[in-house]
Structure 1
Amino acid sequence: MFDRLISFLQQLPGDTADKAEAEADRDDPRIAAAALLIHLMDADGVRLDTERAKLSEALNRAYGLAGRDRDAFIARAEKVERESVDLYAFTSVLKRNLDEQARIEFIGIMWEMVFADGELSELEDNIVWRVAELIGVERRDRIAMRQRVDPQKTMGDADDE
């Protein structure tokens, strides 16, 4: 009986190819970065056109993705993000694959995403802080990246710590 159940489950469509693709996506730093940006974009519960445009711009600028390739890439990143249980799944990939400067620049991209809609939510601020901590970006670098995107923010302002 149990063998029949295992056999049935193994024959379900999408089993091995989807698993192989999902595993590859989880270890792809480009997918990890996009998934984190999607998570950040959805943090306030509203995905605006300006945020979508900023994500598209970031993917085009960083990876040369446009058109259908970009849309397919975003769909893969959204799927991986939906299936994740925490940020560590993505941040560990970035920390392993990016050097210090690239990790700092990624935090800058996250701040661009945060301010794409012209507003900063406490939840978005917290996500950037947590991601920065998990990928090893120092507080001063996180603040510097924020100031680059939002020059009105000064070092004396409260900064989630």
Structure 2
Amino acid sequence: MLDTLRRFLTDLAGSDEHDHFAVDDYRVAAAALLVNLAGVDGVVDPAEKSALHDVLKSHFDLDEAGTAELIGAAKRREADAVDLYAFTSVLKRSLDAEARAGVIEMMWEIVFADGSVHELEDNVVWRAAELLGVSTRERVELKRRIAARARSLGAEPA
């Protein structure tokens, strides 16, 4: 009977039974934040898609299937969210200060992936950093570090 109820609720929620990431998993929250950021300027180009995949795979030590599953879960979560707080509240509860700064670093990697910084992207990183308790000084330092890395790899940020 419980299995029937579980299947019913899963079907009702439109969730995949094979989804290994819980709704409140901090990895889903971080990935959803990155998905939101990648699309905030209205265009998700191939460089941003690739960066999203690579950043999540390396940061969370996932294989290809796990990375694809996380991105799928993140897209579903992002589609249901109304604001950044839906993601940052999970991250703030789950991660220490260093790990929250790591999320901001991942965000900058997505921003600089296409070689330009759109003002909406910069604003989303700023708001997320504020909600995560990452200081302005640390946010700016992370931006400088990732911008320098992007320049050294040949992607000249605008």
Q: Shorter-chain TM-score: which interval?
A: 0.7 to 0.9
Structure 2 residue identity aligned to 1:128: V
Cα distance in 1, alignment partners of residues 119 and 13 from structure 2: 40
Cα distance in 2, alignment partners of residues 13 and 131 from structure 1: 30
Partner of 2:24: 27
Partner of 1:100: 97
Q: Aligned match of 2:48 in 48, 51, 56? A: 51
Partner of 1:112: 109
1:71 paired with 2:68, answer: yes
Structure 2 residue identity aligned to 1:129: W
Structure 2 stretches of 5 or more lacking a match?
1-7, 150-158
Which stretch has the larger CA shift, 81-90 or 53-62?
53-62
Partner of 1:150: 147
Q: Name the TM-score, length of structure 2 as normaliser.
A: 0.81
Equivalent pair of 2:24/2:90 in contact (CA under 8 Å): yes
Partner of 1:141: 138
Cα distance in 1, alignment partners of residues 70 and 127 from structure 2: 25
Aligned pair in 2 of structure 1 residues 82, 107: CA closer, same or farther (>3 Å)?
same
Equivalent pair of 1:51/1:116 in contact (CA under 8 Å): yes
Structure 2 residue identity aligned to 1:25: A
Structure 2 residue identity aligned to 1:68: A
Please state how far the C-alpha of 1:91 moved relative to its aligned partner.
0.1
Please state how far the C-alpha of 1:56 moved relative to its aligned partner.
1.0
1:61 paired with 2:58, answer: yes
Q: Deviations over 1:58-100 (max 9, x none)?
A: 1111122232322122111101100111110100000111111
Structure 1 stretches of 5 or more lacking a match?
1-10, 153-161
Please state how far the C-alpha of 1:17 moved relative to its aligned partner.
8.3
Partner of 1:127: 124
Tell me the SS of whatever aligns to 1:25. coil
Structure ID, larger Rg: 1
Q: Aligned match of 2:84 in 78, 83, 87? A: 87
Cα distance in 1, alignment partners of residues 128 and 48 from structure 2: 19
Q: Name the TM-score, length of structure 1 as normaliser.
A: 0.79
Identity %: 44
Instruction: List structure 1 segments (4+ residues) > 6 angstroms apart after TM superposition.
Output: 19-22
